[in-house]
Amino acid sequence: MARGASGVVIDQATLPYRRCVGIALFNRSGKVFVARRRGETGPEHVRGPYRWQMPQGGIDPGEQPLAAAIRELFEETNVRNATLLAEAPEWFTYDLPREMLQRTWRGGYRGQTQRWFAFRFTGDDKEIDVRHPGGGDHPSEFDEWRWEEFSLTPELIIPFKRPVYEKVVGAFSHVAAAP
């Protein structure tokens, strides 16, 4: 149990999961895009080495997961030139740590259930702009980005999301290699 912003005790087990997409964007060399979340404030587990992640975001009401993935990719990275490689075979789910429950999504969700997609980046690296994403029409969530070895991504993510990243690596390792 955790306390919500109004002081009401929240039973995490009764809350729904937020529907979300995740994107593994591979370059021609088989490395994956990771970006560093902005800022050094907040709990220790969201600072330091665990600020790196792959793009992800919520699915809007009535939106299909693939459409959400394409939208989120553009809104977070500015990328338009990408080809779909694969879709994860199932939804991957994680629960938020109790100390984050009341601060995240206004305490309305226990965590996220994510549908992951793998894309091959077909553009030039100059297209990627995490500081002015979505053609400059969206707030920046990241301050840096790089191409990384796909197998290393579970070590870069916030520890409570690590099991999801391990499943993503398992689901897409076969498509990560360069064509």
Q: For 57-79, how does the pLDDT look when each residue is reduced to its tens digit (9 = 90+)?
A: 999 999 999 999 999 999 999 99
Residue ranges covered by each domain of the chain: 25-176
- Would the pTM count as exceeding 0.75? yes
Distance in angstroms between the alpha carbons of the first and the last residue of the chain = 48
Question: Residue 1 — pLDDT band, cuts 50, 70, 90?
Answer: very low
User: Contact at 8 Å (CB) between 26 and 85?
Assistant: yes
* Alpha-carbon span 143 to 141, nearest angstrom: 7
* Alpha-carbon span 45 to 23, nearest angstrom: 22
The confidence score (pLDDT) of residue 6 equals 53
The number of angstroms, rounded, from the C-alpha of 86 to the middle of its chain's C-alpha atoms is 16
Question: Residue 177 — pLDDT band, cuts 50, 70, 90?
Answer: confident
Domain 25-176 has CATH 3.90.79.10: yes
